A and B are shown apart, each in its own frame.
Chain A
Amino acid sequence: MINALGIPQHILLLGGTSDIALAIAETYAAQAPNLTVTLAARSGDRRDAAVQQLSAKGCTVSAVDFEALDTASHGALIAGIDGDIDLAIVAFGLLGDPEEAWTDVEVARELAEVNYVGAVTTGVALAARIRTQGHGVIVALSSVAGERPRRSNFVYGSTKAGFDAFYTGLGEALRELGGRVLVVRPGFVKSKMTDGLDPAPLATTPEAVAEAVVAAVRDGKEQIWVPGTMRVVMSGLRHVPRVIFRRLPV
């Protein structure tokens, strides 16, 4: 159960080696003695390291094989996880090379399948669990890139736009069944995913995203921007005419 102070007993990380997902789990581990974590990720050194990292924080960790592209497996995988899933973090995704992404069919397809199709199949499987449990929170890591796609990475942005719409809608559907979805829209996050890229303005860190997510789960929120000022910025950008928007250095 998620207790009265917003602390879960069992967390499922989908994309279990994501810096943000691990930072969220670590933040909870610091507050919740005996946290149970299930890491769903590809097997390998990175997953082993993640298991080590969370075990060292006092969590009881188990790992399951998860392949975002194998969308047909998602239902059975999530149905097979033991115990109530109090909090699930949907944190897998690809950034890709933006110029390849709109010129190479295969690269575009992979981005769309991982970031959108895989997110939908896992979302439906999680919703089935929440319907039987009668409770549960999904933390969906969206992106401000989905709010107004830009020339510079619109394929990624378009997948996040679909992702964001799906999980926002899923939150409405699950509300009356005792479930909740928190859609998280970070700006530029300095992490493995963005290694080698120049940080955008208002860049943030996985730790800051984690703090914001934990507070939002405690407060029962349904969407947040990280940092919070991004909400104002995006609200403005959404209404900027295209002729001006394309000239902005964003």
Chain B
Amino acid sequence: MARPTDVEALRDELKTVGERGLITRGLGRSYGDPAQNAGGTVLDLTDWDTILDVDTAAPNVRVQAGISLDRLLRALLPLGLWLPVVPGTRQVTVGGAIAADVHGKNHHVDGSFGNHVSEFDILLASGDIVTAAPDGDNAELFWATVGGMGLTGVVLEATIQLKEVETSYFVVDTDRTANLSQMLTALETGDDDYTYSVAWFDTATTGDSLGRGVIMRGNTASREALDPDQRRAALEFAAPQRGRVPFELPVGLVNRFSAKAFNALWYAKSPRHRTDEIQDITQFFHPLDIVGDWNRVYGPKGFCQYQFVVPFGEEAAFTTIVETIAQSDHVSSLNVLKRFGPGNRAPLSFPISGWTLAVDLPVRAGLDALLNHLDQLVLAAGGRIYLAKDSRISAATFAQMYPRLDEFRASRARFDPTHTFRSDLSRRLDL
């Protein structure tokens, strides 16, 4: 692990790189191996976290790429500014958000993170620093880097377009649905009224209530929507954390029985229909962050995230996939469903118009067979899996899911012909 503090030190790392190459690491929140590099060098750039300039008129912000979205949001909110895309955790860096082209609950309206980056400076394997923007001379470099998992170079600084907000609160509507088809219909018909939309559902129940769940949708709250107390601190960063899991439990608490019970309980506690509830950032965006280090409840073997998208029109395939999970003896507790809007120009960007589902399954015997089977169902439906969450797909299946992989490889060959930038992920998937 190297922790270069200036550009010259970074260039020295490039010059002295060994045959296993190097890769940049942010806060390490990817579920798989994109920021691991066995036998090679890992560059920790989390010290590169300065906010360089805020233009409140544009509005946009210029930052060093190692800053976390959490710190950035805390700094922007008092100015009435908000990031255009916030993923399921705020503990990711701007560089990581670009490299994984992360998405949020507003993808159906606003697209992914890369759609809101107006330019960035990137250090290439040659040692040159190049400015790249979505259009113009370096557009190819820009779009290969968005979603490119750090394999084109080291993003040093970026300019991100911002949203203006009056408050740090959200007006949220909650709806409970009895089964999957009800859920899909509700999402299809209602999503356009909301900037943010996401659904949780039960993947443990089969039969008529297969896919019963809870839809949570909202918009940023105006000052008028708040009560007087909230209004006094309307732009305060309200993200309380209410506890931590103190250490990794020796045996995971999550098993088939507790996960099924959790699914049933979560469904039962949710209101059938509730409108105009005011929620803070943590309640609405990051309910898991209420308990710090929640992942520790899975025990030392951990779990496997599986997130895929299938295009609209493939609802039958989507239902089959949910059925396959429900009928297996692997149970996921945290199942997140949403609709994606159109994808962007990046060849390795994950989102495409369609239904996306993320599940997290504890690692145990037989999980590989289930996930290999799901890969084939996703592939047959014209869908794909998300690289930031993958830790086990085969190179051949991945290549079929991403038909523009060769375009990415050609860009990588152009900007880094000797493959200075490498990771366990790039070796595993032959990117």
Contacts and interface: CB of A to CB of B under 8 A. Distances in A.
A and B physically associate: yes
Interface of A: 1, 3-7, 9, 31-34, 84, 131-135, 178, 215, 218-219
B395 A34 contact: yes
Nearest to B427: A1
A178 B38 contact: yes
4 tightest A-B CB contacts, nearest first: A134-B39, A4-B391, A134-B38, A135-B38
B405 interface: no
Nearest to B423: A1
Nearest to B369: A31
A84 B430 CA distance: 12
Contacts, number: 62
Given A133-B39, A135-B38, A1 B301 contact: no
Nearest to A83: B427
A219 B301 contact: yes
Contacts of B33: 1, 4
A135 B368 contact: no
A221 B394 CA distance: 24
Given A33-B396, A33-B397, A134-B20, A1 B39 contact: no
Given A31-B372, A84-B427, A4 B39 contact: no
Given A31-B369, A31-B372, 19 more contacts: A1-B424, A1-B427, A3-B392, A4-B302, A5-B304, A5-B371, A5-B391, A5-B392, A31-B368, A32-B394, A33-B396, A84-B427, A131-B39, A132-B19, A133-B20, A134-B39, A135-B424, A178-B38, A218-B363
Contacts of A4: 32-33, 302, 304, 363, 391-392
B58 interface: no
A153 to B, nearest CB: 34
Contacts of B395: 9, 34
Task: Name the residue in B38, B371, B396 with the highest tally of chain A Cβ atoms < 10 Å from its Cβ.
Answer: B38
Given A4-B304, A5-B392, A33-B397, A135 B365 contact: no
A158 to B, nearest CB: 36
Contacts of B371: 5
User: Among the interface residues A5, A133, A215, A219, which one has the most CB atoms of the partner chain B within 10 A?
Assistant: A5
B184 to A, nearest CB: 30
A237 B316 CA distance: 60
B428 interface: yes
Nearest to A211: B365
A129 to B, nearest CB: 10
Contact of B392 (A7, A84, A132, A134): A7
Nearest to B303: A4
Pick the most buried of A1, A33, A178, A218: most chain B CB atoms within 10 A of its CB: A1
B225 interface: no
